[in-house]
Structure 1
Amino acid sequence: MTAFNSTWNAGSELARSRREAALARIAAWRALEARAADASARAQPLFDKRGQLLPRQRVALLLDAGAPWLPLCTLAGYLQDTRDAAKSVPGGGMLAGIGFIEGVRCMVVASDSGIEAGAIQERGLEKMLRVQEIALQNRLPFIHLVESAGANLMRYRVEGFVHGGALFRNLARLSAAGLPVVTVQHGSGTAGGAYMPGLSDIVIMVRGRSRAFLAGPPLLKAATGEVATEEELGGAEMHTAVSGLGEYLAEDDRHALGIARQVVRGFSDAFGPPAQVHGALAAIKNKANGAAEPTLSAQDLLGLMPPHHREPVDMREVAARIVDGSELLEFKPLFGSATVCAQASVGGHRVGIVTNNGPIDVAGANKAAHFIQWMCQLGHPILYLQNTTGYMVGKDSEQAGMIKHGSKMIQAVTNATVPQITIQCGASFGAGNYGMCGRGYAPRFLFSWPGAKTAVMGGEQAARTMQIVTEAALARKGITPDPAESQAQFDKIVAMFEAQADAFTTSGLLLDDGVIDPRDTRAVLRFCLDTITEGAAREVRTMQFGVARM
């Protein structure tokens, strides 16, 4: 491979203006994440009074100090709890991410009990299901820090109750797949929440704080007339000494987290440091350690992408700032050149890259389909850097068979036998979202840059289409459209599409696994590729059923 010859002028006025716009978006995203942390921290006096740690403190103590941590779905639920952007608190009521405990790469989930007592939110449920799926796909032990008021009955929806059963189904699947499920019960777990420890392999409870019961005192009295205390029904001492729901009794949060680390240490031989897992993985790690950093600066990524996606971008410039040594081996560079396919390495991992320098035309779709199959034959993961307005339209394109050729590309993406990772860098419009492995095509991981846009089409295109259709309908009736009304409708449609296309909105809807800083793209990709490779190398002991509690 040869190093990419960049022609981008990072010091130009164009780059400067784009950089300022990107930094503004990054600041807005970080402020949203800080909003959730601040909302949770306001419960500090109550937690201090109870002798408890805040959720973020718990996660920090559980994880290995200084080890990498990949947070997931931090904007979950944004603009779903309220349409007021100034008041919406993102996060879905929980913290989630992939990190290391005693050298073991794990999925870690914690109830954000500083917000609404950790009540499960609608998008929080979706977030939990998504991270459970990631854990299953990548063979990650599942560590759950629980303190939740359960479902918010004031926001009860029957579909949430029904779909919520998948949360417990997935815990059983994780255990049966040979992936340890460890729960630290920091506080309450009522009704369905009681099945979180019930479906865990190991449960750690905190004296005087842990609660787990199918019906708490109020419901019990309402349903049967029986009167009982919380401790009698589901306290930590009762469950560790009488019911057997808990294995370990801790004195406080710190003690419980220390026990959790010891439990993870106990299975570290099977799931531990990469060099001990599999010889092939150790070889990849050694290669990764010697991988050359890009020769082009990641800082340039802030200035490369325009904020409105109407200006062309050479996405090879983006790829060259992510891959080892800035080296790319382009595949069919002269054929279907608006669709860029290239082989490269990221942190020592061989990958195939598919990205866009314009709409996907017939030649580009065929090239991408060929390249995807080639990568499957080689066993190389595929990285999609999305920046497309979709498949080419027009008489010539239709007559050339755009539908059938685009379908071949979608067939290849759908049936690819290697892991796929998607980064939504810029535009993700129309069926281009599908052909470039959008959320509906189940990439192993999918992240968005703060300025990314996702929609069936651009706002102005949608508004102009509706305007043409409306004016034609009025003309058939002999009515002349009012220019002011027509413009008002046009502006309304544009605003509606732009609001929904925004990366913060789509991330709030769990249409990605989180927003990332463009400058961190290489680090995130390396982490994900390491996770995928390590998971594939783990020799888990699957069972017909999960570990049954005795």
Structure 2
Amino acid sequence: MTALRSTLDVSGEEYAANRRAMLDRLDEVATEHAKAIAGGGEKYVTRHHERGKLTVRERIELLLDADAPFLELSPLAGWGSDYPVGASVVTGIGVVSGVECMIIGHDPTVRGGASNPWTVRKIFRAADIALENRLPVINLVESGGADLPSQKEIFIPGGRLFRDLTRLSAAGIPTIALVFGNSTAGGAYVPGMSDHVVMVEKASKVFLGGPPLVKMATGEEADEEELGGAAMHARTSGLADYLARDEPDALRLGRRIVARLNRHKAGPAPAPAVAPRYPEEELVGIVPDGLRTPFDPREVLARVVDDSDFDEFKPDYGDSLVTGWARIHGYPVGVLANAHGVLFSEESQKAAQFIQLANQADTPLLFLHNTTGYMVGTDYEQGGIIKHGAMMINAVSNSKVPHLSVLLGASYGAGHYGMCGRAYDPRFLFAWPSAKSAVMGPQQLAGVLSLVSRAAAEAQGRPFDAEGDAAMREAVESQIEAESLPMFLSGRLYDDGVIDPRDTRTVLGLCLSAIHTGEVRGARFDGAGFGVFRM
């Protein structure tokens, strides 16, 4: 056994201060998440219920297996924008008839389920996850189409929604549409391009043009039922494969469709899971407030990996990056976790070798971020930090095993890239409320701008405005600080959600289970593996 031994002092003042700060941040996240859960608010939810309809979250609850978990994705999409938090759609992974599925449900209590720019980006992300992990897609459809005032930001990129459905089907990944209400104009192509379609009698309305548009375009008088009602589509057009009596019946039919898909996981089955030896509750007190003080990621791993068992790789070399092997909920993982923030040449080379080993062993990689980036300075430049950092980034870029990333603390500069940030397409990326991500820290960025301004003044022979410089530095620091916070980044879908540290093991377990729906295979040295490593 190679069980980690925790030295965390849970009775000390430092732990208590870290815990208080984390809980305060979690309260802030919960307040914003509650806005997404509330949908359009009490007035519109009540009106929706009075029409005999279920909310999107009630539909999801009835669709899922009893007591099955639901991993909601991008719940803060649109935060900080002019649009509602959550972007009027709920996406996530849940188990339906024993099969893990990607569920995409419009929230009709928010502007009739109309899609805004963040809605389509959120759905794009869900489709990407479904394709990469071969998850069947279930669309819970009730949408008024595009939010017309913002159509210029939706129409052209929005066509990808329908392209994705056809590509999923072409890849052998089933797509299912359960239509509960309006699905008009471009929205009509969601059922039109899905493999399986269920409509609700006297409720579903699917047409390219509603009665007013038909009247204006052709002069024809037509009512909604004969133009696009569920019964018509089930008996005349053939668009509906199943006609449901009501919403619960539609969800029952959806479950039966999934049960008949004959889906089997292609990845290896997990070993029996063993709980960590230390309480997950203690995770909220590990990360220091402000991120100026480093913390040992082994304390996190001791509360996340199975039996707190971790085989560390190269423990005495490049010690600001912890690498090693573990299991989470029975699934094998290779871990790369920042220990002291800065990445040096040794850490970069160590990471590149470890990533290659993980690919040889077909083992998914987990990146735990707390880095200020690659080291700078004359000695380090002469020592080859550029080529060594490039080696690490090369390895990350061309690795073929699934990657998962969790931002625990800082994730700055090219270190964000080397640790598999969003641009490097990890299968899933989550952040703790303590995380921050930007080109560099606020103070460093403001200081660089100040030095450049001072040099420019000297070069031009004019006096340096110290008072103006101080005001500039303060404004820049405030801006970068605000733009590096997890809710800001999550609102722009740069991660898949801000999670409670205590849920980390559960979230990673759900992700690993979804990943193993498809084959898990690493890059091989056969011409389809890595690029040239500069030595």
- 1:120 aligned to which of 96, 115, 118: 115
Amino acid at match of 1:331: F
For these two proteins, the number of residue pairs brought into alignment is 518
RMSD over aligned Cα atoms = 1.5
| Cα distance between partner residues in 2 of 1:395 and 1:266 | 64
1:107 paired residue number: 102
Q: Give 2:260's match in structure 1, choosing from 260, 266, 279.
A: 266
**Residue pairs, 1:243-392, within 5 angstroms:** 243-267=237-261, 269-271=262-264, 281=268, 284-285=269-270, 287-288=271-272, 291-357=273-339, 358-392=341-375
Task: Report the Cα distance in structure 2 between the residues aligned to 1:521 and 1:73, rounded to whole angstroms.
Answer: 16
Post-superposition Cα deviations, 1:10-37, rounded to whole Å, max 9, x if no partner, equal: 2211111110110111111111111122
Match for residue 91 of structure 1 among 73, 86, 92:
86
Find the aligned partners of 2:73 and 2:337 in 1 and give their Cα distance: 24
Q: After TM superposition, give the deviation of residue 252 of structure 1 in Å.
A: 1.7
Which residue is 2:525 aligned to?
none
Find the aligned partners of 1:131 and 1:63 in 2 and give their Cα distance. 17
Q: Structure 1: which amino acid aligns with 2:263?
A: A
- Which string of whole-angstrom CA distances, capped at 9 and with x for unpartnered residues, describes residues 414-460 of structure 1? 11121111111111100001000000000111111112101000111
Contact (CA 8 Å) 1:139, 1:536: kept in 2 or not?
no
Distance 1:48 1:395 in 2: 67
AA paired with 2:226? E
Alpha-carbon deviations, 1:478-511, whole Å to 9, x = none?
3323333221111110111111101001011110
- Does the 8 A contact of 1:450 with 1:503 survive in 2? yes
Instruction: Tell me the distance in 2 between the aligned counterparts of 1:331 and 1:531.
Output: 27
Separation (CA, whole Å) in 2 of partners of 1:150 and 1:72: 22
Give the AA of the match of 1:79.
Answer: G
On the 8 A contact 2:105/2:140 being kept in 1, the answer is: yes
Task: Indicate if the aligned counterparts of 1:425 and 1:452 stay in contact, CA closer than 8 A.
Answer: yes
- Structure 1: distance between partners of 2:516 and 2:447: 47
- Deviations along 1:330-386, whole A, 9 cap, x unmatched? 111111111111111112222110011221000100000011101111111110001
Q: Separation in 2 of the partners of 1:17 and 1:150?
A: 48
Distance 1:39 1:140 in 2: 26
Aligned match for 1:479, one of 437, 441, 462: 462
Q: Of the candidates 171, 178, 182, which is equivalent to residue 184 of structure 1?
A: 178
| Structure 1 runs of 4+ with >6 Å offset | none
159-168 or 457-466: bigger deviation: 159-168
Find the aligned partners of 2:309 and 2:517 in 1 and give their Cα distance. 25
Unaligned runs of 5+ in 2: 521-535
The residue matched to 1:480 in structure 2 has which SS? Answer: coil
SS in 1 for 2:294: coil
Aligned twin of 2:138? 143
Counterpart-to-counterpart distance in 2, 1:5 and 1:265:
45
Distance across 1 between alignment mates of 2:483 and 2:392: 27
Q: In structure 1, how many angstroms separate the alpha carbons of the residues matched to 2:119 and 2:75?
A: 10
Structure 2 counterpart SS, 1:535: coil
Deviation at 1:67?
Answer: 1.0
Output aligned runs, 1:403-422, within 5 Å. Answer: 403-422=386-405
> 1:204 & 1:41 partners in 2: Cα distance?
28
SS in 2 for 1:345: strand
Q: Conserved in 2, the CA contact under 8 Å of 1:209 and 1:235?
A: yes
Measured in 2, the distance between the counterparts of 1:370 and 1:519 equals 31
Give the equivalent residue in structure 2 for 1:29.
29
Contact 1:19/1:302, CA 8 A, preserved across alignment = yes
In the alignment, the residues of structure 2 paired with residue 498 and residue 218 of structure 1 have an alpha-carbon distance, to the nearest angstrom, of: 50
How far residue 41 of structure 1 moved from its aligned partner, in angstroms, is 4.7
* Structure 1: 5+ residue stretches without partners: 83-88, 272-276, 538-550
Q: Which residue of 2 aligns with 1:72?
A: 73
**Separation (CA, whole Å) in 1 of partners of 2:221 and 2:240:** 24
Partner of 1:226: 220
Distance 2:220 2:481 in 1: 55
- Tell me the TM-score normalized by structure 1: 0.92
Matches of residues 3-42 of structure 1 in structure 2 within 5 Å? Answer: 3-42=3-42
- One-letter code of the match for 2:176? V
Q: Distance in 2 between matches of 1:515 and 1:50?
A: 34
Instruction: Return the alpha-carbon distance in structure 2 between the equivalents of residues 222 and 476 of structure 1.
Output: 67
1:543 alignment partner in structure 2:
none
Identity of aligned residues (%): 46
Give yes or no for contact 2:39–2:88 (8 Å, CA) kept in 1. Answer: no
Q: Which residue of 2 aligns with 1:172?
A: 166
Is 1:402 the equivalent of 2:385?
yes
**Separation in 1 of the partners of 2:240 and 2:45?**
27
Amino acid at match of 1:270: R
Asked if the contact 2:280–2:304 (Cα under 8 Å) also holds between the matched residues in 1, the reply is: yes
The TM-score normalised by the length of structure 2 is 0.94
Residue 343 of structure 2 aligns to a residue whose secondary structure is coil
2:490 is matched with 507
- Residue 239 in structure 1 maps to residue 233 in structure 2: yes
In the alignment, is the contact (CA less than 8 A) between 1:340 and 1:355 conserved in 2? yes
The corresponding residue for 1:468 is 451
